Structures are given as C-alpha cells and as structure tokens.
Amino acid sequence: MARKGHKYIFVIGGVMSGVGKGIASSSMGLVLQAKGFSVNLVKVDPYLNVDAGTMNPTEHGEVFVLDSGLETDQDMGNYERFLNRDLGAEDYMTGGMIYQTVINRERALGYGGKCVEAIPDVRNEIQQRYESASNVNESEISVIEIGGTVGDFQNALFIDAARVMKMRHPDDITFVMVSYLPVPGSLGEMKTRPTQNAVRQLNAYGVHPDFLIARSKYPVDEKRKRKIAIACSMRTDHVVSAPDIESIYDVPLNFEKDKLADALTDALKLPSKKNTDLSEWRKFVRAIKRKNSIDIDIAIVGKYFDTGDFVLSDAYLSVIEAIKFSATVAHATPHIHWVNAKDIEHGDVEEVLSKYDGIIVPGGFGESGIEGKIKAVEYARVNKIPYFGLCYGMQLLVIEYARNVAKLDGAHTAEIDKKTKHPIVAIMESQKENLEQDKYGGSMRLGAYPANLKKGTLAYGAYKNEQISERHRHRYEINPKYVEQLEKSGMVFSGTSPDGVLMEIAELPKKVHPFMLGTQFHPELKARPLSPHPLFTAFLKATVVHKKNT
Ligand code: GLN
C-alpha cells in the first residue's frame, strides 16, 4: 500500500505522441521539488520488451542506464537531469516487466489455482508498482508518466490502474493531460477540437484530467483556454500554455510563470510550502543560452549515421546534453557534427576531420565503420587533437595504440575478430556463457561500479578525487594480459576497478598529447545541468585551448 497521504500526478498524452510529455513531466517534478517537496518521477513504457536494452537506439532513442543497472528509456535521463538526482529501478516499468512478474507468479502457483486475468491481476500488479516506487523513494509526490497516447490499446491497463487509485484516494491523485493543438498551415489558426476529443476519450476510461498542458507552436490565448475549459469541464487556470521554445530547460521556468506548482499542490490538497526556488536553474538556463566568444566544433564519429530514417539527437541524447552542460563551465559555444565512420574508412581522414577542434567516439557495438573509427583515433593522436572515447571509443583508443605504437600487429577486439592474434579487448568469462546461451537481455556489465584513480593523471585532475562511481554498459574489457605491455609503451590506465583487474580509464600523458582519454564507462549518463561532468568539462577545455592555438 502507498504511504498515507502520498500524492500522485499521472501524466497522460492526448492527440499524438512526441509532443514532450517527458519534458513536461520532468519540469513538473522540478518545480515541485523547487517548492520543497520530495519528488520521484516514474516512467511507464507499455511495450512488451522487459527493458529498453534490446531496442535499437536509432529507432527508439538511447538506452539510459541507471545506477542499479536497469536499461531504460531516454526519458529517465531527462528526469535525472531535471531533478539532479539518481532514480531507482522502481521508477521505471514496462508492460513486459509487469506481465513477466504476473506470469512467473502464476507458474509458481502464486494465484492459488484461480484464473489469472488482465483485470484485476495485471492491473493490481501495476498499481502495486506505482505504490512501491513512492515507498522506496520515500517521496511526498510521485509524477508518473504513462507512455503512449490516450486510445492506445497498450496503455489502457496502466490508465485503469490509476483510475482505481483515484477512486479510492480522490484527494491524493490528479491527472494531467499533455495534448497538442495544431495550427494548420492552410488556416493559420490554432485548433482545439483534437484536444477536446482526446479529453473525451480519456473520460470514456472513467478518468477526468484536472489539468491540460497545451503544447503548440504558439502560446494558447485566453479565448482558447476558456473554450477548452468549458468544453472539457476544467478550470481555465488549469489550462497551461506550453508553446515551442528555444530550450527544453526553459519549460520549468514557463511553468513557474503560470504558477503550475501552486495549482498542482492545491489540487492535491497539500499544505503550501516555501516559494519556488529556481535560482540555480535560472542561472544554468542563462549560461546555456549565452553566446560565448569561442565557438568549438566537435565531431562525433559513429556508425549509425546512414541507416535512413532516424533521429540521431535522440540516439546520443546524453552525450549531447553532457557537452552542453560542460560548455557552460568551459565558456564555449559547442557545435556538434555527426561524422559517419564509413566516410573515414573509405575516404581521406584529413579531409573529413581536420576542421574539428575535438573528436568523440561514442559507445557502440559491432563491426560497421570500426576501421574508420580507429583511423579517427589515430588522426586525433598523431595530430594532437583532443579525443574523448566513450566505452567503445575507449576500447578503440587502446586498440589503435596497441597496433600503431606498441606494434602489436593485428590487435583487435574479440567482439569483431574472435581469432585475432592480439585480443586487446576480450570478453569477460561470465559474459561468454551469456552469449553461448543467447542471454542478451539485461546481461551486460551494467550500472554503477566504483573505480580508483591514479594521482597526477588527466582523470584525477578532472575529478579531483581518488574514488569515483560511474555507469557501465558493455560486454568486453581491456584484456589484463596486455596491460603491462601497453603501459611500457606509454599508455596510462588512470582508472581501474578497486581490485585493479579491470581498466576503467585509458589516457596518454599530457606531455605527449593535450587530451587523449577514453572511459570504459559512460560518463554522459551522470552529467547534469547543475553538475556538469568533470571529464566532459576537461575535454571541452582542451578543445578550447586547441582552437585558440590553431
Ligand atoms: N561493444 C562494446 C562492448 O560490448 C562497447 C559497448 C559500448 O560502447 N557501450 O564492450
């Protein structure tokens, strides 16, 4: 059972998907937190995948890994970035997870011989998860975003579980619909009808939204607010205008202008707390929009860039945001350029890469474009261009060094070449079994692990700490058998697992290269607006120096 007096805000989409429910939920979380409430944000993904780990990032956006190791949707990244805190495994659920639990329970005779049904058994499991998320977090308010749009077949049980909770605890639950108001080009006029219909559709579920966040190209005027309010039996001041804006980080500030946090807490019959304090956030938003005198051009070299219809900015969302946050500290205006590794593989590396002030090779899997990425690493190393390798990008940094400096001919990763003479990157023993048994889902080295840093290195200089904790998502590791030889050739493993067996950070000494560093973990997953990641900051500062010197 939920703790007594715990409050829930359910966020449901109307009209169509992709209008910013995740950002609206994150922003509601932030304005309530800024008022002094403890808040947890929960994402419900109705699909039947048990987690997001098996989904293609170019189609579904990046896989965001939590400390716990759970592979989740990119919205969880936004939630953590807005709230500036880690969220737990309870804060994410999928249809697959719910059904798996129910079916496992049935197999274990957990239903005592009864017929197991979507209603009430699956619905009860959903409700129980809504409640346990708030219990684990010990929060006062849970903002729960139900994925999809009203009318979807898949999310109906999730909405119904919320309805039952509202029926039992009417004062503790409020519903917010995030809807879309089109402005058809032929008319040039904002239309409210699709939204009115979406509200009616939700009404047919037995749920009435108390608030409407009206997403549109333009602000919603008072006349239309009144029209929606009357048509949808809603208070006019509960219709919140949410026009397209320059930066997603403006959304909480706009909500604050509309006093949304006060309206939500009133609706939930919460005692009023302090005035909303968004001063740090406001400072950050100002900094992120500032046009700095120095522009830096960063190449992200990857393989996914030629697969047709996709949104790259979603596939690498955390990397892009991490760059933006650190740019506020490095006082630079970053410009990100997507570089297809295959263009380097088959073309002139100098021609493709010479215009950039810094190069990133992000996380990745498989063979496609790999020799192009390795060429990019070599180009950065030889030409002393700041290089930052994230996971795969670190493994390739070490492979390039092994091949070209340590003279280990044919050095490779066992992921691509199982028979390589020099498996510089090898599979962990525990992972072998997983692959042999086709256990792919949720089986990588996942989540937060501690690492120790060596003093006097680039990594230590950035973190200013001997112990760190970072999030992982990989199957392969730097092969311990080659560590000594690589170190003799000049490579520095500046971060290792506490037992010294796993290499967590590889870098070159500053006297050899201004910034050549890669991490086996994904630092971008812990970069936050109010606490930019120290390694991204160090990388960007190096790119600024590089730019000034060229
Ligand atoms: N493919 C590599 C591995 O599995 C790197 C994974 C990644 O970049 N996330 O080890």
- The pLDDT of residue 431: 83
Angstrom distance (rounded) from CA 529 to CA 284: 7
Nearest CA to ligand 1 atom 8: 363
Q: Cα–Cα distances in Å, from 330 out to 81, 178, 294, 327, 453?
A: 19, 36, 10, 5, 23
Q: Which atom of ligand 1 is nearest to the CA of 473?
A: 9
Residue 257: which of 241, 270, 268 has the closest Cα?
Answer: 241
CA atoms within 13 A on the CB side of 317: 23
Cα of 301 vs centre of ligand 1, distance in Å, is 15
Ligand 1 mean position, distance from CA 276 (Å): 42
Ligand 1 binding pocket mutation candidate from 56, 361, 395 (most atoms within 8 A of CB)? 395
Q: How far, in Å, are 12, 70, 104, 106, 367 from residue 99 at the CA level?
A: 21, 17, 8, 10, 35
Peptide bond into 209 cis (omega under 30): no
**Residue 434: other Cβ atoms inside 10 A:** 17
pTM of the predicted model as reported, rounded to 2 decimal places:
0.94
Give me the residue spans of the domains in the chain.
8-283, 292-549
Q: What's the N-to-C CA distance of the chain in angstroms? A: 63
How confident is the model at residue 434, as a pLDDT? Answer: 81
Q: Do domains 8-283 and 292-549 have the same CATH topology?
A: yes
- Which residues lie closer than 8 Å to 137 by C-beta, 6 or more apart? 38, 40, 88, 90, 91
Instruction: Give bridge partners of residue 471 from the DSSP assignment.
Output: 448
Question: How big is the chain, counted in residues?
Answer: 550
Q: Whose CA is nearest to atom 9 of ligand 1?
A: 363
Q: Are 253 and 278 in contact (CB under 8 A)?
A: yes
Which atom of ligand 1 is least distant from the CA of 366? 1
pLDDT attached to residue 7: 95
Task: Calculate how far, in angstroms, residue 343's C-alpha sits from the geometric centre of ligand 1.
Answer: 22
Q: How many angstroms is it from 1 CA to the middle of ligand 1?
A: 40
Taking the centre of ligand 1 as the mean of its atom positions, its distance from the CA of residue 521, in whole angstroms, is 9
CA distances to 23, 89, 136 from 29, rounded to whole Å, are 10, 18, 17
- Cβ distance 531 to 84 under 8 Å? yes
Find, among 467, 477, 546, the residue nearest to 518 by Cα: 477
Query: Where does 95-149 show beta strands of DSSP type E?
Result: 141-149
Homologous superfamily, domain 292-549: Class I glutamine amidotransferase (GATase) domain (3.40.50.880)
What number of helices (H) and strands (E) belong to the chain? 21, 21
Contact assessment for residue 338 and residue 306, using Cβ atoms and an 8 Å cutoff: no
C-alpha neighbours within 13 Å on the C-beta side of residue 183: 14
Host H or E run for residue 12: strand 7-13
- Active site positions, annotated: 391, 522, 524
Ligand 1 closest atom vs CA 444: 4
Pocket test for ligand 1, best of 365, 390, 431, 444 (most atoms within 8 A of CB): 365
Residue 491 DSSP SS3 = coil
* CATH class label, 8-283: alpha beta
As for ligand 1, residues whose beta carbon falls within 6 Å of it are: 363-365, 391-392, 415, 473-476
Q: Going residue by residue through the chain, which has 550 residues, state the pLDDT in tens, using 9 for 90 and above.
A: 566 789 999 999 998 888 899 999 999 999 999 999 999 999 999 999 999 988 888 778 899 999 999 999 999 999 999 999 999 999 999 999 999 999 999 999 999 999 999 999 999 999 999 998 887 778 899 999 999 999 999 999 999 999 999 999 999 999 999 999 999 988 889 999 999 999 999 999 999 999 999 999 999 999 999 999 999 999 999 999 999 998 999 999 999 999 999 999 999 999 878 788 899 999 999 999 988 789 999 999 987 665 555 557 788 999 999 999 999 999 999 999 999 998 898 889 999 999 999 999 999 988 888 999 999 999 999 999 999 999 999 999 999 999 999 999 999 999 999 999 999 999 987 788 887 888 888 888 999 999 999 999 999 999 999 999 999 999 999 999 999 999 999 999 999 999 999 999 999 999 999 999 999 999 999 999 999 999 999 999 999 999 998 8
Q: Whose CA is nearest to atom 1 of ligand 1?
A: 365
pLDDT the model gives residue 273 = 80
Residues 3, 149: Cα–Cα separation, whole Å: 29
Q: DSSP of 136-202, one letter per residue?
A: HHT-SEEEEEEEEETT-STTHHHHHHHHHHHHH-GGGEEEEEEEEE---TTTTS---HHHHHHHHHH
User: What is the maximal distance between C-alpha atoms in the chain?
Assistant: 76
List, as one string, the DSSP characters of 512-530.
T-S-EEEESS-GGGG-BTT
